[in-house]
């Protein structure tokens, strides 16, 4: 049996570039985040556990506000939402983008102003619509022709609801085909090229219950280049100009969505926020000048780029299995707390913490505990060759689309979320327990 052993790479092993800015090395191979040792969090809250650096979240909110001072920055709740996150986002001056009544009602219950919320969704349920109108949501994004009459009927003849139209601009961008949403022939939005968007706009303008205030587009996720956004802006401004020419209406708002890419492993590209802000604003001004349009109020919707780098997931090693040429490292979590690798091939960089190893790195595949061959958290990654059961592994960039997409597969129970900051740790969301599963199962 031959196990691939990598040459020692101390510089890479010490690379903390993708970790929260507060991350600091401690003796004996330990790390702290937010002034709290990760080993202490694992001992206190058990594993698996999500760790969220409050200071990193707030700092990233402020970075967006500074980069886009004249725009509406809406945090995309689908990336990660909790009562604490609602409060942090509100206090940092961001709006909110939600996709369901559940997200909306949690936010409003925590004191978030409903008029600073935008409701998305390609298939909004009656409950979603009712909650949005009852709570006074700021904007509803119309995603299909059938929604026009549904929303108008729900609003009634004596009311008025501000709406945006989601447009598919025909721009391909994003890290994987399953998260590219700006191209034709997919479930989101109304096509620019086949006239669907223009026809929907004309219908909305004929409904007094609906106040069309602007256009919306979202071209994908994990986008690391600025150019696709600029192409989308030009096409959206072109449509706004045609709306003015056809209907005499100048739309005052343009929401360019999110999808801002981040690095999940050292050396990977990430979207340059300062360059995006500069280039997006310049393109918007130039395109509007060429079309003779007043520059609309811009909105953007970062989610992953705010929450992702603020999170760390902690796991205990349960078992090791060595086969011809490969080491499988089985941990106490898996696809129930992080389905992203199985869904669209996401790659992570796990790290041993709490023990300084003198062994050279070996190629390993970190797998979960679930009954699926595809339950792989990190394939072909360098880990110490003397890894053993009981070791603690930390996975950075775990703040987005892990807790939010976690499931009850195998009735394992979803991990808790622990916030860190100022040298203290506090529980935000408790661990799901067998009692929770039994309480929901009311059959006999």
Active site residues: 371
**Minimal CA–CA distance to 227: which of 186, 235, 177?**
235
Number of helices and strands in the chain (H, E):
13, 21
Helix (H) or strand (E) holding 382: strand 376-384
**C-beta separation of 212 from 247 below 8 A:** no
Give the list of residues 6+ apart from residue 88 with CB closer than 8 angstroms, or none: 54, 57, 58, 61
CA 253 to chain centroid, in Å, comes to: 23
DSSP 311-368: EEEEEEEEEEEEETTEEEEEES--TTT--HHHHH------EEESS---SPEEEEEEE-
Give every CB contact of residue 295 below 8 A, 6+ residues apart in sequence.
284, 285, 288
Contact in structure between 76 and 97 (CB atoms under 8 Å): yes
Distance from C-alpha of 154 to C-alpha of 126, rounded to nearest angstrom:
9
CA dihedral of residues 312, 317, 322, 325 (deg, nearest 10) = 10
CA-nearest of 124, 116, 201 to 166 is 201
* CA 70 – CA 64 distance, rounded (Å): 11
Are the CB atoms for 108 and 83 separated by under 8 Å? no
DSSP run (H or E) holding 51:
strand 49-53
Buried residues in 294-317 as b, exposed as e (16+ CB within 10 A): ebbebbbbbbbbbbbbbbbbbbbb
Q: Alpha-carbon distance 434 to 415, whole Å?
A: 12
Residue pair 239/198 in contact by the 8 Å Cβ criterion: yes
How many residues are there in the chain? 444
């Amino acid at each position: 049996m031959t196990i691939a052993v990598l040459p020692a790479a101390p510089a890479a092993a010490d690379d903390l570039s993708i970790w929260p800015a507060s991350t600091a090395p401690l003796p004996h191979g330990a790390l702290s985040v937010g002034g709290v040792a990760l080993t202490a969090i694992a001992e206190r809250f058990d594993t698996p556990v999500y760790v969220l650096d409050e200071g990193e979240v707030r700092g990233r909110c402020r970075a967006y506000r500074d980069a886009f001072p004249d725009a509406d920055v809406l945090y995309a709740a689908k990336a990660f939402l909790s009562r604490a996150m609602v409060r942090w986002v509100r206090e940092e001056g961001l709006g909110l983008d939600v996709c369901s009544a559940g997200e909306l009602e949690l936010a409003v219950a925590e004191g978030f102003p409903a008029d600073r919320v935008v409701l998305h969704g390609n298939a909004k349920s009656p409950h979603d619509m009712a909650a949005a109108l009852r709570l006074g949501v700021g904007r509803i994004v119309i995603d299909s022709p059938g929604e026009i009459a549904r929303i108008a009927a729900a609003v009634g003849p004596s009311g008025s609801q501000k709406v945006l139209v989601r447009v598919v601009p025909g721009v391909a961008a994003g890290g994987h085909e399953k998260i590219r949403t700006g191209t034709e022939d997919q479930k989101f939005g109304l096509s620019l090229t086949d006239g669907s968007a223009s026809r929907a706009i004309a219908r909305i303008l004929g409904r007094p219950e609906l106040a069309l205030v602007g256009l919306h587009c979202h071209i994908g996720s994990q986008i690391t280049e600025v150019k696709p956004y600029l192409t989308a802006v030009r096409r959206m401004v072109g449509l706004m100009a045609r709306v003015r020419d056809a209907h005499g209406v100048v739309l005052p708002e343009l929401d360019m969505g999110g999808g801002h890419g981040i690095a999940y492993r050292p050396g990977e590209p990430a979207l340059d926020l300062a360059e995006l802000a500069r280039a997006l604003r310049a393109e918007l001004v130039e395109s509007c000048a060429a079309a003779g349009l007043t520059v609309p109020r811009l909105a953007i919707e970062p989610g992953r780029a705010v929450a992702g780098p603020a999170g760390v997931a902690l796991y205990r090693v349960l078992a090791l299995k060595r086969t011809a040429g490969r080491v499988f490292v089985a941990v106490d979590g898996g696809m129930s707390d992080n389905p992203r690798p199985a869904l669209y091939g996401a790659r992570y960089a796990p790290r041993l913490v709490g023990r300084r190893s003198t062994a050279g790195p070996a190629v390993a595949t970190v797998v979960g505990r679930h009954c699926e061959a595809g339950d792989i958290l990190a394939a072909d990654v360098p880990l110490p060759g003397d890894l053993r059961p009981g070791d603690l592994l930390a996975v950075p960039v775990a703040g987005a689309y892990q807790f939010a997409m976690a499931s009850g597969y195998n009735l394992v129970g979803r991990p808790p979320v622990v916030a860190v900051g100022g040298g203290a740790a506090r529980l935000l969301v408790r661990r799901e327990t067998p009692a929770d599963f039994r309480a929901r199962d009311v059959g006999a």
